[in-house]
Amino acid sequence: MRVSLTRACRFYTSPITPKPSFFSPRAILNQPFSSSSSSSSSSSHSSTPKPKTPLFLKPPKYSATLSDLKKWHNWAKALASSVRSTFADADNGPDSSILFRELNWLIEDSLEDPSLIPQLGFQNNSQSVRLRIGLDELYGLWKQRIEKRKPFQYLVGCEHWRDLVLSVEEGVFIPRPETELMVDLVSDVLVRDNDGLRDGFWVDLGTGSGAIAIGIARVLGSKGSIIAVDLNPLAAAVAAFNAQRYGLQDIIEIRQGSWFGKLKDVEGKLSGVVSNPPYIPSDDISGLQVEVGKHEPRLALDGGVDGLDYLLHLCNGTASMLKPGGFFAFETNGEKQCKFLKNYLENDSACSFCNVSIVSDFAGIQRFVTGFRQ
């Protein structure tokens, strides 16, 4: 399901597609973050990192004249214009037209009243406007975007994914548009299957920002529950932040740990296991877009020599975790990995699985491997 909302298509730095992919429009959901914490979340303790507040949720405690904001805007546009196709030619990075769009989104998120943006075209406008970030910081952020190629999502602290606006920050993997289909795969299974899977426990392994877990939790409704696991304590904290923003802290339990290590209490009881694990071959990391290879956590990218280390670990562990009839869905790097895993699951896993399938993403690239426990 693709939802059309108000924000223009957003450039997305993806490590697995040969060309830049683009977001469907998204509208910002200005929901306040609840300060209440989930009593069931095992990541809620004093040493848990505190997630940063996304720019669009920060209070507008700064001010500037429209004239000064226009000077910054002109400077930022000139910097973006100087890029031309340099990044795109080097590693399929963003060109100037994409950076112009990002610049507009940065202004929208920074201004308390984005309806004032058209007035930036007027000269010498001394009207004061309220900002969520100081002008000096705006200059610094845009320099980081162009000179260091820091991902735009890290600048503004959020990513638009399906109909969600998720907090992300440096050290946490940015959810990809192709991964949106994972939620649809689960939804389709629940519609076909029944309440037998809807009522049980689901697990999102390597949850990152919590995107998949939150999407599935909204599909499950009040009947089921989902455990979101991540080794990275910052990712676990950000996932908890996002779950609470959407009022899902009673459905999603965050556990910090490594893969199946924190799931002994639900072994053999799971209705579903889903994961978007690290699957990039180690030697390919250096050739990724700078936004990805140099800024996103390697822990969330590097899948070993052939990219299959964690995918095979998932296949082997899932056999003992799912209850009979339970469903799994794993994202991969593409056709070669999909075919290898399908063969492995059908022939080398002690006949544990059935109805193993390969599913293509929105771009027609073979991306997911799905199936059921015998």
Let me know if 51 is a catalytic residue.
no
Q: Tally helices (H) and strands (E) across the chain.
A: 12, 13
Which one from 51, 87, 241, 276 is the annotated catalytic residue?
276
Contact present, 227 and 199 (Cβ < 8 Å): no
CA 25 to chain centre: 15
Residue 79 in tokens: 């910097």
| DSSP codes of every residue in 224-247 | -EEEEEES-HHHHHHHHHHHHHTT
Phi/psi at 252 (nearest 5 deg)? Answer: -105, 125
Q: Is 277 noted as a catalytic residue in this protein? A: yes
| Amino acid in the structure at residue 165 | V
Tokens standing for residue 46: 């004093």
Q: Which residue has the tokens 């260091």?
A: 148
Structure letter (DSSP) for residue 54: P
3-class state of residue 370 by DSSP: strand
CA dist., res. 339 & res. 38, Å (int): 40
Stated as kind and residue range, the H or E segment containing 144 is helix 135-147
What's the rounded Cα separation, in Å, for the pair 79 and 90? Answer: 18
Task: Kindly name the residue from 51, 151, 175, 277 that is annotated as catalytic.
Answer: 277
d(CA 350, CA 347): 7
Measured CA to CA in angstroms, residue 255 lies from 41, 45, 241, 306, 315 at distances of 7, 12, 13, 28, 20
Nearest Cα to Cα of residue 269 among 206, 224, 229: 224
Out of 152, 173, 260, 372, the active site residue is 173
11 by DSSP, 3-state: which?
strand
Sorted by sequence, the CB contacts under 8 Å of residue 320 that are 6+ apart come out as 267, 268
Q: Report the distance separating Cα 265 and Cα 74, nearest Å.
A: 57
| CA gap 260, 266 in Å, rounded | 10
Q: Cα–Cα–Cα angle for 287, 291, 292, nearest 5°?
A: 60
> In the annotation, is 201 catalytic?
no
Which positions are annotated as active-site residues? 173, 276-277
